[in-house]
């Protein structure tokens, strides 16, 4: 599955910690605040989101773009410490 992650992190400490977590899960930095992977599994992605949730606060924002998930594009965002999911039929 292809996954791209856009980050808007409130502090340098959070940024460094989240970037380190991305590296541990095999995501590569493509641009400033943008990471991607072409080989992450659904199970690993779920663990990644839990790990990120532990080190972020309500001022941080992230957006995950996942494709394909049952022939759809799934956009999951973390904003104000709440996860939201948007599914788009392709």
pLDDT at 80: 93
The total number of structural domains that make up the chain: 1
Residue 83 sits in a domain whose CATH number is 3.30.70.240
Check if the beta carbon of residue 28 is closer than 8 Å to that of residue 36: yes
Residue-wise pLDDT for 13-23, tens only, equals: 999 999 999 99
Structural domain boundaries enclosing 34: 2-89
Element spanning 8, H or E: strand 2-8
Report the C-alpha dihedral over residues 8, 51, 25, 38, rounded to 10 degrees.
-60
Report CA 59 to chain centroid distance, whole Å.
15
pTM recorded for the entire structure: 0.90
């Amino acid at each position: 599955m292809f996954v791209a992650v856009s980050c808007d992190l409130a502090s340098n400490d959070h940024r460094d910690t989240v970037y380190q977590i991305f590296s541990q899960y095999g995501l590569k930095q493509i641009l400033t605040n943008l990471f991607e992977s072409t080989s992450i599994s659904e199970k690993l992605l779920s663990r990644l989101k839990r790990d990120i949730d532990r080190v972020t606060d309500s001022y941080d924002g992230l957006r995950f773009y996942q494709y394909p998930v049952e022939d759809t594009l799934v956009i999951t965002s973390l904003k104000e410490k709440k996860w939201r999911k948007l599914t788009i039929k392709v």
